[in-house]
Amino acid sequence: MRAILTNPYRIIGLPINASRREVLANIGMLKAFTFVKKYKRFSTDAENVLAPPIRSVNSVNRAETALQSPDERLKAAMTWFAITSERDVKFIDDFNRGTSRICSDLTCYSSVLNSAVSSLIKGKIGVAIDYYVKLFYDNSLRLDFLSSVYDLDINTSPEHLSMKLTSVLASHYTFDMLAPAYSAAKSISNNVLSVLIDYEYGKIQTELDKEIGIARNVSPQLSGDVLLPFINRSKALLEKASNVMVDSNKTGYMRDIIAQTVLKLSVNGYNAGFIPAKNAISSLRFATNTAASSVVKLQCKHNYDLLLNNL
């Protein structure tokens, strides 16, 4: 998982609870090492379970830039280890040697976070999410976690943390892979699962908005070229949305805006003589069947009936 392999904290060889001074000191040291083309290893590299971290001029600079941003620093803190005691040092060392066991003491944020990160590395996404839910929704653990990373807002809500984690996971795993893991997590709450669903819906909506923006701005002369591809892509996006199981209000909005776009393309193209009647009728039938609201459905049906009567 790239978020772990290239984690800024891993690159600079520090746990996520390192101070700003420690971060700056390590970045300065690594820049000096890369300048003379020397490689520095750290005890937290976890090279036995992960590919060795790339410590080049560019990777150190990227890590430095990322850790200057509170948002990126928060994402990085979610996907790397914390060290607050010798227990954490032993856990990471055992994990690196392949002898780690499930941490039984989950009263400390570092134990919960380290268990989550190690589970992610092992590919046990559902188990990792269980730990993250505990970390985010236990008020004491969440406050300790946020307080441990310099210059983070300690009032960040569990929902916001869930959204950030989902954005990280969704950049590495498909929805089809994540949804079962979210659903199977023993401690999962409905609002955490809804974060994943809303995130995926947002991606679908963005894709649809792009298609509609293109389709609605074409001239009547090009409407015939655009109409069928738009319908086919819209069908695929609607199928995606139904698989995500977003609520009916959201899918209804998608259906209406697709129907209205097909209506506009069909009518403009037919009136200008660039779309044959049979193609316009077929498209208006699709628009009528796709529309969710009665108002949009009536608009599409009215134009469909008019075109049929004029043949």
The predicted model scores a pTM of 0.69
Whether 188 shows a pLDDT value over 60: the answer reads no
As a whole number of angstroms, the distance between CA 270 and CA 264 comes to 10
Q: How confident is the model at residue 191 (pLDDT cuts 50, 70, 90)?
A: low
Q: How confident is the model at residue 300 (pLDDT cuts 50, 70, 90)?
A: very high
Per-residue model confidence as pLDDT tens digits over 281-290: 999 999 999 9
The confidence score (pLDDT) of residue 189 equals 57
Whether 234 shows a pLDDT value over 80: the answer reads yes
Whether 140 shows a pLDDT value over 60: the answer reads yes
Q: What single letter denotes the amino acid at residue 254?
A: M
The confidence score (pLDDT) of residue 190 equals 59
Give 120's Cβ-side CA count (13 Å radius). 28
As a whole number of angstroms, the distance between CA 110 and CA 86 comes to 11
DSSP result, 286-300: HHHHH--SHHHHHHH
Compute CA distances 250 → 20, 36, 202, 293, whole Å. Answer: 43, 56, 10, 12
The confidence score (pLDDT) of residue 101 equals 67
Our separate counts of H helices and E strands in the chain read 16, 0
As a whole number of angstroms, the distance between CA 280 and CA 208 comes to 22
As a whole number of angstroms, the distance between CA 257 and CA 253 comes to 6
Q: How confident is the model at residue 245 (pLDDT cuts 50, 70, 90)?
A: low
Contact 133, 124 (CB under 8 A): no
Per-residue model confidence as pLDDT tens digits over 89-135: 999 998 888 876 666 678 899 999 999 999 999 888 888 888 998 99
Report the pLDDT averaged over residues 41-63.
92
The confidence score (pLDDT) of residue 116 equals 94
Give the residue among 139, 132, 206 at the shortest CA–CA distance from 163: 132
Report the pLDDT averaged over residues 184-201.
67
The confidence score (pLDDT) of residue 248 equals 59
Taken in order 208, 214, 216, 222, is the CA torsion positive or negative? negative
CA 291 to chain centre: 29
